[in-house]
A and B are shown apart, each in its own frame.
Chain A
Amino acid sequence: MDIKKVSVELIFLIAIFGTLLWMGLGGLSDYKLEHGFPTGYLASDNYAHVSWAEHIKNEGNYRKSGLSTAGGFPDVIGHYPMMHSHLSAIFSMLSGLETYDTMLFLTFFFSCFSTLIVYFMLRRYDRNIAILSVPLATFLFVYNFYFILLWGQYAMLFGNFFAILSIWAFSRIELKHSGILLGLGLSAAFQSHPPEMIICSAFIVFIMVIRLILKNVSKKEMIELAKAAAVFLLATLYYLMIFVFAITRISISRDKNPLLDLTQPHMEYLRTTLFSHFHIASFVIVAGALAFLLLAKKLKTVFQYSAYALLFGFCNYLGGKLGSRSLAQRSYWPITLAPLFGLGLFQVIKLTKIKWKKTYSVFLSAIIVIGIVNAYYQKMSPHGLVEQNQWNGIKWLNENTPLDSEIYFFYGDTYNQGGIMYNVFRKVTFADSSDFVNKLSNKIISRHYLSYLVAEISYKLPYRKSTFDYGAHMLEMDKSVFESEKDICSFDYLLFDKVSIQPVLAQYNMAIRNAMLSNNWIEEVYSNDVVSIIHNKKPGEECIPMEGIKLEVKE
């Protein structure tokens, strides 16, 4: 691409990229890069990812999980895929932005940027198809596709981004040392979210098997693939051990779902995306798929991958784990089906016999983008599950309490989204809302509340026994460690929300707080309009009578 010769195309690409970033992140971030608290964070997962990045920033590495995600166990290994956390942490330190800002920025940036990688793969085949394919990416920020970004599936999005890099490298496998790029792409996809690497690798293996059968593989290409495998092994060696010996073993013991289960098609993934969510564009994609079938011999890797993504997206009907992963992959269809969209649109244009020019494609694409934005795009408002004052309370705990403090969170409207509390880098326990409401109904301030230990328990808190042997705290310990009636007098610091959507719950919080503050060894150490934090200097002492305190209710 010579920049001077392609100014229209270049301006078009910059404008498209800007439009995508504006659609996805503009409204959500209130058109700002820097925020005082996590803005645009709408689910537990968003906050969980930030806590991993913040942990890496503070600790300098990801050998161990942070105390809050590890349920207070200091030996839990860093086992969650980490690429996005490392990148967000480093970018935060360089740019001066907070990790919650860099995490959001990088995720949206890379999601938008994927379309440019696909564009360059298509451009080698046909410039018009490349330009015409771009508008489909706008659906990334249209419901239900948008939910994957809003609800914090960042690891998966990074995995998809690196899978696209891998497909690009595979499409260039004839180049010397392209195997290194392929190996790096697959390694990054694996360490972002292993399923995306596995799905991408399955495609590469499938294509290579077909090419081997057709005797259409050169020795040079095989050498590059061998290089890719070697780079992959080298770059993932440490995490591969964790994945194989800890995560996979625990997944097998935990998850009884078979790979396939034809009796139960998988239909639930966040808010499921359907092919019909592309509205009228779905017809163009179907046209592209038909054209692909007719022109299959002439079409290159990027089209094959697009057809594969379409087919794979419907494997949810096969059920089981494959079905679940297949359904999740649909969220990335606005990027992966773009080649079929561009191909379909261009074939329709060709039928009109108009002498088509590249500038026409640019204008048509721009019109389609404007059409999609006008018809389907809904601007997001900038908000998060916690607001500034709540975040200030969390920050205060991190900055002012000893590392071995035990923290208790009373009722808060959004604390059922546990990822929020991962950002307190201490051992945290929180009150079960049903039990809390029951005790309020019984008009009693109790010393014991049903409580949960805050922890990221997907893989049961794995720890290393020896190089190849891993245990899992959650599988080895009594359930009561993680979920039981807890004595609120046994905690060092207790956080109360002063406001709630249901004011009576906040009033109950305040009644408990006031009862605890009546003891001279307990004092309020932090307060703002929304939260109050108290410090119990004698954990274990009777701060509430065993029989509880009867609430006096004014009629």
Chain B
Amino acid sequence: MDKEFEDRLKKESMYLLGLLLAFMLVLKIVFHKEGFSVIIRTALSFFWLLVLPAFSIMYYWKKYLSFGERFIISIPLNAAVTGILSYNLGLIGLHSRYHGIVIPVVMLAVGTLIILKKK
């Protein structure tokens, strides 16, 4: 990996971590009667299911879209892809209990390929 690419990846990973912590903080303030374990579980599930997979794919447009815009769009895009795939995977016989693992893993694999190709 070249240095610039590595730095960029590190920087964006730190930003994502920061946003995850900010999200946990917002959840804790809004749902202040809720325990930490539920807040953390909810935030991590949300990032796993609805942020990270599409965010990795959005890397394809890194030249044209800022980190912020890619992050914001990754959530509705992730929801769209997850919902569509979940419906169709269910129809072909894969039980929905596996979708929360299978769909993000497949999307992350596609995202990783894009990131490596765009290196």
Task: Determine the distance from Cα of A196 to Cα of B61 in the docked complex, in whole angstroms.
Answer: 27
Please list the 9 inter-chain residue pairs (A to B) with the smallest Cβ-Cβ separation, ordered nearest first: A1-B68, A61-B90, A60-B95, A188-B80, A83-B83, A95-B45, A165-B76, A94-B45, A1-B66
Task: Determine the distance from Cα of A174 to Cα of B20 in the docked complex, in whole angstroms.
Answer: 31
Chain A nearest CB, measured from B5 CB (Å): 17
B76 touches A95 (CB 8 A): no
* A184 on interface, CB distance cutoff 8 Å: yes
A90 touches B77 (CB 8 A): no
Q: Specify which chain A residues have a CB less than 8 angstroms from the CB of B48 in the assembled complex.
A: 94
* A265 on interface, CB distance cutoff 8 Å: no
Interface residues of A in 88-147 (CB under 8 A from B): 89-91, 93-97, 105, 110, 113, 116-117, 119-120, 123
Interface residues of B in 60-84 (CB under 8 A from A): 60-61, 64-69, 72-73, 75-77, 79-84
Q: Specify which chain B residues have a CB less than 8 angstroms from the CB of A235 in the assembled complex.
A: 84
A-B contact pairs, 23 of them (CB 8 A): A1-B67, A1-B68, A14-B22, A14-B26, A17-B26, A30-B33, A33-B39, A33-B42, A84-B83, A86-B90, A89-B86, A90-B86, A91-B46, A91-B100, A95-B45, A95-B46, A117-B72, A117-B76, A123-B69, A175-B61, A184-B81, A192-B83, A239-B87
* A36 on interface, CB distance cutoff 8 Å: no
A contacts, CB < 8 Å to B: 1-3, 6, 10, 14, 17-18, 21-22, 25-26, 29-34, 56-57, 59-63, 82-84, 86-87, 89-91, 93-97, 105, 110, 113, 116-117, 119-120, 123, 161-162, 164-165, 168, 172, 175, 177-178, 181, 184-185, 187-188, 191-192, 235-236, 238-239
Q: Specify which chain A residues have a CB less than 8 angstroms from the CB of B29 in the assembled complex.
A: 18, 22
Q: Specify which chain B residues have a CB less than 8 angstroms from the CB of A185 in the assembled complex.
A: 76-77, 80
Interface residues of B in 29-47 (CB under 8 A from A): 29-34, 38-39, 41-42, 45-46
* B116 on interface, CB distance cutoff 8 Å: no
A61 touches B91 (CB 8 A): yes
Q: A90-B100, A117-B73, A161-B76 are in contact. Are A26 and B30 (CB under 8 A)?
A: yes
Task: Determine the distance from Cα of A187 to Cα of B88 in the docked complex, in whole angstroms.
Answer: 13
Q: CB < 8 Å: which of B46, B84, B97 contacts A187? A: B84
Q: Specify which chain B residues have a CB less than 8 angstroms from the CB of A82 in the assembled complex.
A: 83, 87
Task: Determine the distance from Cα of A397 to Cα of B61 in the docked complex, in whole angstroms.
Answer: 51
Q: A90-B82, A162-B76, A184-B81 are in contact. Are A177 and B60 (CB under 8 A)?
A: yes
Most buried by B among A30, A61, A63, A238: A61
User: Can you name the residue of chain A whose Cβ is closest to the Cβ of B37?
Assistant: A96
Q: Number of contact residues on B: which range applies?
A: 35 or more
User: Can you name the residue of chain B whose Cβ is closest to the Cβ of A165?
Assistant: B76
* B27 on interface, CB distance cutoff 8 Å: yes
Q: Apart from A90-B86, A97-B38, A172-B65, what are 16 other A-B pairs with CB-CB below 8 Å?
A: A22-B30, A26-B30, A57-B96, A62-B87, A62-B90, A91-B45, A91-B50, A95-B42, A95-B45, A96-B38, A110-B76, A165-B76, A184-B81, A188-B80, A191-B87, A235-B84
Q: A63-B91, A87-B79, A184-B84 are in contact. Are A2 and B67 (CB under 8 A)?
A: yes
Chain A nearest CB, measured from B91 CB (Å): 6
Q: Specify which chain A residues have a CB less than 8 angstroms from the CB of B81 in the assembled complex.
A: 184
